[in-house]
Amino acid sequence: MKFSSRADVAAPVAFVFDQLADFSSFEQAARGRKISLRRLDTLAVPGAGMSWDIGFMFRGKPRQLVADIRRFDRPELLEYAGVSSSFEAALALNMISLSSVRTRLHVVLEMKPRTLGARLLIQSAKLGRGNLERKFTDRITRFGQALEARARQAGV
């Protein structure tokens, strides 16, 4: 199942990329949502090869996911891949400079089932695809607005 959305952000492409590559703030936000994170790599600077073991609750059950950065092409592309016992996931964040102070953030999330149970979950999710796509687009839009607010605060 694949979701795609975009948001135009009133901030330079380098600022948007740097905000998306601020992994410590994402780790802190995840811990605030009771998501356990453990870094698996030893990289000193952000880049391809960074990896996390992520534990979270989904539908009342504890889940584990290993996520890593596959591509880290400053300032255009961040690409993640994740694997759990039931799913494989890929997340691509593509930044396109529209002008010196405007960026288009294009987000693509793809989920692939690895088990029969996951395949059934994907099939049932396809029945409510319109609602899921709307929620995905709303979240990307709100995230773009939050990036704009951070850019205004930073005076960028």
Residue 152 has pLDDT above 90, yes or no: yes
Domain map (residue ranges) of the chain: 2-154
pLDDT tens figures, 2-19: 999 999 999 999 999 999
Predicted TM-score (pTM) of the model is: 0.89
> What pLDDT sits at residue 73?
95
DSSP string, 25-77: HHHHHHHHTT-EEEE----SS--TT-EEEEEEEETTEEEEEEEEEEEEETTTE
The CATH number, out of the four listed (3.30.365.10, 3.40.640.10, 2.70.98.90, 3.30.530.20), of the domain defined by the range 2-154: 3.30.530.20
In angstroms, the first-to-last Cα distance of the chain is: 36
pLDDT of residue 65: 95
Tokens of 81: 């891949």
- The pLDDT tens digits of the residues spanning 89-124 come to 999 999 999 999 999 999 999 999 999 999 998 998
Give dist(CA 12, CA 24) in Å, integer: 21
- Please write the tens of the pLDDT for every residue from 39-83: 999 998 999 999 999 999 887 889 999 999 999 999 999 999 999
Cβ–Cβ < 8 Å for 97, 103: yes
> Can you give the pLDDT at residue 94?
97
